[in-house]
Chain A
């Protein structure tokens, strides 16, 4: 039953020898030195006196800018601001390269390590990106520009902190400033006004009221909180909000930025984990929440399934469509420990250390983040990090008005706590997996906090 004819003889040995030689040769070719560009000294901040804040005097300049503002309102906002900047300073040409967030993330490292990196780049906060860039000496410290342009007065300190990296590049949240951001975002509580009314409830004004409402809503047969965690990250925000309410903003900040001796295994964090698990057990979330997509859950909320939806301001526009005036948004209601909610800001616009026109680059960054720029952002449907005059004209019953009012309230109370996955380079993996375990009942609140602490200790010791 031979089905194939005689085979040609195999040159097995020859192939092997060839392959071995090739691999050895390739190794020899690449094995000259350790990978990575080394030895470049940390760039120094320019002295305040040598800074020119007037790009008109800079002569002919081409400014290469890499951003990730590709989506509707964001693209509109940047396009308009770029045009305004160039008509004000005709000697400056902006060469814009815009990529989606993940494309930018995967290509920026290579671009920065080249000899002609862009002048202005949008860098993602956190260890894998901004801290790595600073460590390799790719970004220019902007502190003297911050003084010249008054950025430290413009922004709340909690927002600037996210763009600061310590001088030894071992952690972030303090140290030199490496960029400023255009837009803000926070995790709030969306609520269905119609449903609340039907249930005879008012929008909760405190954390205690919110948690009491959940039980009432469940008892009356409605879904208290719409939630989907198949994509793993949404639970960071839900847990972040609970932890901020339970442990308070200072403890969370200490944890994330690695200051003080805060531990993830603290009583308050264990309590927060227990609350999250209880909510899942008591059916305050839809059943099978780890198998529901984030977008699907929000769509369900938009269609009237669920009284609350705890998620970020980035969902406002999408939820407004189907819900109209029955949609409400508030920052997480204050607990006994004060007003605190998870949030942050868009990627930071920074200047590369190899830029030939750092003064013009900084002037550009100032231009796209000042009060006039904030109004442009607001008109194009974005939430500016520092709202300008146009924000006061918004109706307080509109979702945009509530979103901006909430943002101003949070910043007035200095209540913004950073995203928990900033804690260590690997924390995103650790906490997303651990949260799915916790919500799925596979681990106890104690085990959950121990898992987080193990990752945390490893990073802060090593």
Chain B
């Protein structure tokens, strides 16, 4: 036996990882498999059945998955989630970049104070955020009263009750929550950029915009990738904000997949369908994060 082991090692090129490595990762791997992979496999299995959670399930094959495309009450939530990504991901990153660029150029008095205030929404519990925004958007709430006060009463409306505006309205709340995190990430990134690069750019006659484009933006690539991944994942699995502000309404105009998972699994006893939505969501998140890492990180 020992000879064969030795022989096996001798065949390897020097520096090639040894099988022993798997022993090191074994404890973590066991936990990972037990807590993540097995439940994932179980979800996939459940998603092939029509199951109320208790009595014997009936095999339906891919029906739950085809429903994701054919059933408008399931297709809708996925479309809404993609629209919400503009608010949960694109806008916070844009805002975060602008703020980081501004804060890194101009010396602001009390910078720490502003940074803390702008980051605050990220720290708040989602319940608090949701209740606050419900008040802001109420027909006699802060937003409408504000509009009336400045003579724009014509624009005042029932924001969360509007079929076309409820989704963007919830989205804006998401933007408010997310941009602080992006800003802090980018500020940290900006501080690692060598000053010489800015000096060189200025010597070459670059204005603030060119400086931002040629120096800041490329240097922030890894931070942007992190921010994009975090906000996309947070945005797609967003549940609490919708649940607490509109519960998917008015009509179904703000329903999102994560809400459907909870609703179907726990409230109306369609465990199979809930699992299929969950798997669909997992695949979507996985695909988008791969795209992000390819695009922004510039990986091969």
Contact = CB atoms under 8 A, between A and B. Distances in A.
B249 A106 contact: no
A193 interface: no
Contacts of B171: none
B98 interface: no
Contacts of A137: 55
Contacts of A264: none
A136 B55 contact: yes
Bin chain A's interface residue count. 35 or more
Contacts of B159: 291
A113 interface: yes
B246 A135 contact: no
Contacts of B246: 230
Interface stretch (A150-158, A344-352, A406-414, A424-432): A424-432
Contacts of B187: none
B240 interface: no
A286 B57 CA distance: 46
A2 B163 CA distance: 47
Given A34-B59, A289-B161, A296-B138, A26 B250 contact: no
Q: Which of B33, B41, B46, B55 has the most CB of A within 10 A?
A: B55
Interface in B125-146: 134, 137-139
B252 interface: yes
A354 interface: no
Contacts of A229: 161
A425 B271 CA distance: 13
A215 B252 CA distance: 32
Contact of A35 (B51, B134, B138): B51
Given A26-B37, A36-B51, A429-B268, A442 B251 contact: yes
Contacts of B249: 230, 232, 290, 432-433, 436
A229 B160 CA distance: 10
Contact of A291 (B33, B138, B222): B138
Interface of B: 33, 37-38, 40-42, 44-46, 49, 51-59, 73, 134, 137-139, 157-163, 166, 214, 218-219, 221-222, 246-252, 263, 266-271, 299-300
21 contacts: A3-B218, A3-B221, A10-B300, A23-B41, A30-B41, A35-B49, A38-B56, A105-B266, A106-B266, A230-B134, A290-B160, A290-B162, A291-B157, A291-B159, A291-B160, A292-B138, A429-B268, A433-B248, A437-B250, A440-B161, A440-B251
Q: Which 3 A-B pairs have the closest CB atoms?
A: A288-B158, A291-B161, A26-B41
